[in-house]
Structure 1
Amino acid sequence: MSTASIDSLSSCEVATSDYLKPINSEILSTKSEVICQYSFKELIPGSCFLISGVVLRTCERFSINFLAVSNKQDVALHFNPRLPQNYIVRNSKINGHWGSEETHSQFSSRYDLLRGHRFQVEFLITESEFIIAINNRLFGVFEHRINYKKLNAIEVKGDVKEVAIEQLFRDKYPDVPIPEIPLEEPSDDSIFPVPMLVNIPNGFTKNKSIHIIAKVKMLPHSITINLQSRPYFYPHAIIPLHINPRFGGGKHIICRNTWNHGKWGKEERTDISSKDLSPGRMFKMTIFCDFEFYHIFLNDYLFAEYRHRCETNIVDTLCIFGDIVLKKVWIETKSFD
C-alpha cells in the first residue's frame, strides 16, 4: 500500500502541523459533481477497494466518499486531499452533520499525490477501521464511526479524471516479503523506510536487545514501536510490547501497553523530558528482554521497565511508524553487564 507534501520544509523530518490548515477546514471539494460512482453489497472484513485516476494539473482538491444506507446520505468516510495545504482530511457525516476532522496520519506525514500524475488509493475494511494506502505506501487508518455493514457505495468528486474503482479481498496486509533486522550495528547511517516491518530471526527472546538510533521529526505528533507476533497491520497482531511516545497537548509522554485477546490492556505512562526525546534531535533506544521485564533504555540510561503480560517467545516482528527518521536498527544477543 504509498505517499509529496511538506517536502519543501524537509521531506524526512516534518510532521503534520496545524499552521498548514486553511482558515475554514470544513470546506469540501470545489466541485460537487460526481466523477465516478460504484455500488456494492454488504461488506465483510478484508473487503478492499482500489481507486485509481489522474490528478488534474489544476487540482486544488478532490474527495473519495464511502456512503452508507440512510435517508440523509450518511458519509462513513470522507477522504479529502487538499493539495495547496499539503494534507488530507478524513471525516464522516452522520444525520446531516459533519464530525471531527482528522488531518494527522499516524503512519505517514507525506504522500505522493502530484498534479498531472496517476494515483492509486487503497481502502481496506477491517472490523474496526479503514486502513488507507496511497500509491502502495501505508498512509493511515480511520476508525469506523458508522458500521461498515451499512456501506453501499463509493463516489469520487473533484479535480481528478480517468477514475476507476476495483473491488477485491485481502486476507492480510501487507502481503509482501519482510526483510530481516540486521544482527549487528550497521557501519553507516542509512534511512530506513517508515513504516518499517522487519522480521526478528529466531524471535525476540530473553537476553536479546534491539537498538534503535533515530531522529524525532520536527513538529511531531507520535511515534510507535511495537514488538509483535506477526508482520501484518491486518489481521491485528498480538503486541506484547507497545512503546508510544506522544508529543501533542503540550505534555510529552511515553506510553507502554500490550494488545492481546483483541484489546489493549492498562496503559503505563512516563513523562518525557527534553533531554530524552525532543523534536529534531537524535536519540538511541535499547529494548532488552529478560525473564520478567522488558527494560527500556533511552540515551543509555534505564527509562522504564515493563513486566511481561504474555509469552515473549511469540515476538517475531519489529514494527516502527510515526514521526521518526530511522538511522540504525539492529539486534544483538547478550545481556547487559
Structure 2
Amino acid sequence: MLTQFAGNLSCTVEPGQIFVIGARPIDDAERIDINFLSGKSDEADNILHMSIRFLEDIIVRNTKLSNSWGPEERNDGLSELTAPNPVRAGELFKLYILVGDDKFHIAINGQSYCTYMFRAPLLEIRSITIFKDVQQIIQIDHRQIFPTPFPAIQLEESFNSFSNDVPKPFLPGHVIVITAIPFGNPRGGFIIRFTENGSKRQALHFNPRFDPHYIVVRNSHTDALEFRREEERTGGFPFVLDQQFKLAIAMTENEFKFAVNGSLFESYAYRSINQLDVLNGFKVQCSNGMQLEITNVDHMNMGVPDCEGFESYSHPEVEIF
C-alpha cells in the first residue's frame, strides 16, 4: 500500500537544527522523492530535493527556484564510506539532515552520506513532502541540537508508529492539524502523546478507543508518572474506521482544544504551570492491531492566544498551504 506525506513546519529552519525522517519503501520501489519546500503549492520553490532512485542506484540532490531546476548532484560529494544509494527497497531507513552554516550535512542509517551547499535562504523552507513509492512513514522530526538541544532528552521507543518533534517550545495560538486514516483491527485504538521535554511524562494522552468502547480518553501523568484518576471521556466519538479525519489540536494559554472534521470536540486543561514551555511535539502509538496512516501534519500559529476559530482548519475541504 502506498502512502505519502505533506506538512508545514512549526518554525523557521536555522543552523544547528536537524531533521530525522524515517520511512519504508515498498518492496518493488523505483523512486522516493523527499522535498524541503517554500510551501505546498505546485509553484513552490524546492530548496532541497532528494530523489532516491532505486533502478539507477543513486540519490539525486537538486534545487528548483522559480520553476527552474539547477544542476543535479549525483556521485559528487559522497562520503567515501557510503554507497551511491544505501537505501534498500522494502527496508526501513533513517535519513538525517543536519543544518550547518552554509550546507546540509546528510547521513543515512547512521552513516555519513554527503553534503549539499545551500542554494537559497533557509528562511524559505516551510514544508516537507514525501511522495512516490513509500509504504510507511514513521518519523518526521525537526530538532535543535546546537547551541542547546531541544528536546534535551531523546528516548528510542520502538512502539511508536509516528513521531513529530519540534525544535522550539510552542506558544499560545499554535495549532497542529493531523490528517490520518485509522485501519486494521476495529477493536483497537491509537494514542497521541505530548510528552514533556522528551521524557516519559505525558502532558496529554489523547486516546480514541474503537469497538466496543467508542470513547476518546484524555489524561496526563502525575509527577510519579502515573495517570490521573480523573480522566476525561466526554464528547462522543468522532472517528470512523477506514475513513480519513482531520484533527486540529490548539494550544491556548490554559488548555488544549480539539476539533475534528470542522467541528469543536473537547478540551483538556493543562495540569502543569508553564506547560507549553516543555512540550516538544507529539508521538503516536497504536494498540491491538489498529494502524494509523498519517499523511499530513501542519503547524501554524494563529497569532490569537485563545485560538478562536481554529476548528475551521480541521474541515475536510480546507487546504493548508
TM-score band (shorter)?
Answer: 0.3 to 0.5
With structure 2 as the length reference, what TM-score do the two structures score?
A: 0.41
With structure 1 as the length reference, what TM-score do the two structures score?
A: 0.39
